[in-house]
Every structure is written in structure tokens, then in C-alpha cells.
Homo-oligomer: A and B are copies of this chain.
């Protein structure tokens, strides 16, 4: 069922992926993390087993029955000694990704977390419930269904890397002018976290708790993360001072949302190139456009940035990882400065 793929990175490519120059240094007051939300549930009726937990450990009796936690969220915080921004940034990753997408790019450049730290913002980077360091719960006892694993094939198409994926890197085809660092594609695949489709409720609860704890703040959300971010803003509009969506294709239909709650919150949506090449293109922008119209109609500051219309071509769905990721970050930072969030 499984066969190994024997490709190795050629030397020339390894050199291409050499680390970029480090960002400017910054003075840090705190690097830490915590877990929030969740609750204990009791598992019972499962058979005991005899198990050797680790190489060298004795065989031990293992009882899977008892109290386990579910619904909790891991949150990593970095606070600067003297931030230049008036509010922290809270990051929401897209479906099937943990907060690691904000830390670095697949080709080894500094990620948006470091960019914004170097520019004076505190950063709050959670892992969504069931992903990354938040850990996950057994099914069918706690989660109701098995997770879905994203393949490299699916990601290549969905993230608009190119028209043809092949297991052999030499045979892959990227879109002309593609901004995603295509040679580092396999490093992105290493980040794919199993997707749970049945835990949106506890995930939203944890994000809401996060906003209660860390905000007033600014939300920076990628893809599916924007649906959670917008719902969190509706829930706590007094705490969310601005919301930025990177290709927020799952923006909820504003007709199903109490959009009046969002009045006064400035918003920025940014879109890359080749969106009509998305295999699920049809109506992908319908909800985001309806949402934009609803926000404008009630007087919100709302900026819709299509990068190709600004002359910036070739961006994939993974804007914060593309070769011009700093240029996109500059757009966000300039916009935040315009809104008065930088001293």
C-alpha cells in the first residue's frame, strides 16, 4: 500500500535553500506558552493492554480508561520589552496547519512571526484544537470521526502551485512566475496536519477564550482561519480592533452572521494570483465579496487588495510563505500603521 519515494535534494537545490540573512535583533521580555480551554472527559469500557511503551522499558499494563482532556488549545506568546505596536497580533492558521506556518517559510526564510516581532509587534501564535501542540482526541470515543489527511497532490492544486504535481520533483509543473518557493514544496508537505471536520465547535470556543485572554488585539488569519477569526470578532467586537484575512475563502455568508456587531472594526482582505486556477474555484469569492459589501454598507473601513491588480503577480494561496512574503507583510504593516496601530 505504501511505497517509499527515493528522491534526494540535489546539492544545487540545497544551496538555493540556504538561510536568508537574520532579521534585525529585538529585545524580548517573554517567550512562553500556555494551554487554554478544553475540559476533562471520562473514557470507559475499552480493553486493557500489555504494552512496551519505549525501547528498553519493561512490558507494562496499560489501561486506556480514565480522564482525558479534549478541546484545549496551545498558545505560544512572544512579548517584546518595548513594542512599537499598540496591540498584539493574534494569528489564525488555515485548515490542516498549526501555528508553525507563521514561524518560517519552507525555504528557510524568517516567517511573518519574526517579521512582525522585528517590526515591534507582540505575537500570539496558537495551534487550533486538534492540531500541533494542542494535541488531539481519540475517535470515535471523543471526536466523532477520523481525520482527513491532505496529500501533496491535493495541496499542490489547492494552493495554486501549478498545473501538474508529480512524485518526482523534476516532473512537477508550476504556474509561470509562481511565487511559492517551489523547490521547497516538500518542506511544506512536512507541515500538513491531519484535518478534523467535526471539531469546529470546540475550536471556535477555544479561539473565543483566546480573544478574551489576549485582546484588545489585531487578528491575522489565513484561509479557513478567517472564518474562526470573524466569528470570534462577532462574539467579542469590543476586543478585536482590526482583522486581516489572507485569502479568507471560507468567509461566512454575511446573511448568516450578526454583521452589525462588527461595525467599526477595520478589515483588510488580500488575494493572490491565479485564483481561477483553484480546482474548487466556482463561487470561491462569492461570500467574501458579499461580506465586503455588507461591511462597506454599514460604514466599516474595508480594503480588498488583489495583488495582481497592484502589479504583484504569481502569488499562491500561501501568501505568508511566498518568495515575496516580506512584500505582502509590508502591505499589512503599512495598513496597520494607517489605522494608527503603530507608535
Contacts and interface: CB of A to CB of B under 8 A. Distances in A.
A338 interface: no
Contacts of A64: 148-149, 151
Most buried by B among A5, A31, A136, A167: A31
B1 A63 contact: no
Nearest to A282: B58
Contacts of A49: 148
Contact of A136 (B79, B103, B194): B194
Contacts of A33: 100, 103-104, 111
A127 to B, nearest CB: 7
B111 A151 contact: no
A69 interface: yes
Taking residues whose C-beta sits less than 8 angstroms from the other chain, chain A's interface range is 35 or more
A160 to B, nearest CB: 16
B55 A227 contact: yes
A57 interface: yes
Given A43-B151, A152-B66, A154-B66, A34 B52 contact: no
Closest 5 A/B residue pairs (Cβ) = A66-B151, A35-B190, A72-B190, A67-B152, A66-B153
A3 to B, nearest CB: 5
Interface string A163-174: 000010000000
Interface stretch (A22-30, A232-240, A259-267): A22-30
